[in-house]
Amino acid sequence: ETGVTQTPRHLVMGMTNKKSLKCEQHLGHNAMYWYKQSAKKPLELMFVYSLEERVENNSVPSRFSPECPNSSHLFLHLHTLQPEDSALYLCASSQDPETDSYNEQFFGPGTRLTVL
Amino acid sequence: GEDVEQSLFLSVREGDSSVINCTYTDSSSTYLYWYKQEPGAGLQLLTYIFSNMDMKQDQRLTVLLNKKDKHLSLRIADTQTGDSAIYFCAESLQNYGGATNKLIFGTGTLLAVQP
């Protein structure tokens, strides 16, 4: 496998369920990101991990819980979600850029989440 | 604030040129990017421009940067049906307090190419 992969591609869950989204990158990068993509809204950065440490948490509700066990894997654990959390969740990775430098992020195909 | 703005929709005929516009807020952004998202896929980097440039050309793509107005545009010459996608503009935000810089994305512009 090459690039950034995400599983599952589609997920339907009830508000009381617990589920996890998985992201894996095969690019040797050391920074990973979770984004939320909703219709007609800017792409929202949720979490950033650099060298397996969380460096950004954009006021995301605690019902979203990220985990980065190593530089190749990133999880997003979900529990007691709301219908407004339905969206496309995108994972990305990049070579950890220093300030002022080029930061190309490579994206996975996303997980389409529907909360009933 | 950190805002990147784009119009939501653009429709062109095949063979015409498309121009997608973007305004951004952080005047210190070093790099500005254009990403493309095809249906059912993640975002893919199309091109980028360094902030000390005002134009960059790459085959059918031309990026224009007006730093004074904080305006970025992407021109696609001879637009094809395969160019139909959502196009995102992004600016890099520096020194935000972490070990990495981050990208601020716009809403995306849906480009529809009519045959």
Name the pLDDT band for A33 (thresholds 50, 70, 90).
Answer: very high
DSSP per residue, B52-100: T-SEEEETTEEEEEETTTTEEEEEESS--GGG-EEEEEEEEE--SSSSS
Question: Pick from B45, B94, B107: which is nearest to A40 by CB?
Answer: B107
List, for residues A38-94, the tens digit of each pLDDT value: 987 888 999 988 877 777 777 899 999 999 999 899 999 999 999 999 999 999 999
Q: Which residue of B has its CA nearest to A104?
A: B45
* Of B48 and B97, more confident: B48
Name the pLDDT band for A100 (thresholds 50, 70, 90).
Answer: low
Q: Which residue of B has its CA nearest to A39?
A: B107
Q: Are A45 and A33 in contact (CB under 8 A)?
A: yes
- Is it the case that residue B22 has pLDDT exceeding 90? yes
Name the pLDDT band for B99 (thresholds 50, 70, 90).
Answer: very low
Q: Which residues does chain A have within 8 Å of residue B107's beta carbon, measured at their own beta carbons?
A: 40-42
Confidence (pLDDT) at A102: 76
As a whole number of angstroms, the distance between CA B91 and CA A95 comes to: 17
A interface mutation test: which of B102, B105, B110 has the most A CBs within 10 A? B102
Mean pLDDT of chain B: 89
- Is it the case that residue B98 has pLDDT exceeding 70? no
Confidence (pLDDT) at A36: 95
DSSP per residue, B15-45: TS-EEEEEE---TT-SEEEEEEE-TTS-EEE
Confidence (pLDDT) at A98: 61
A interface mutation test: which of B33, B101, B104, B107 has the most A CBs within 10 A? B101
List, for residues A21-31, the tens digit of each pLDDT value: 999 999 999 88
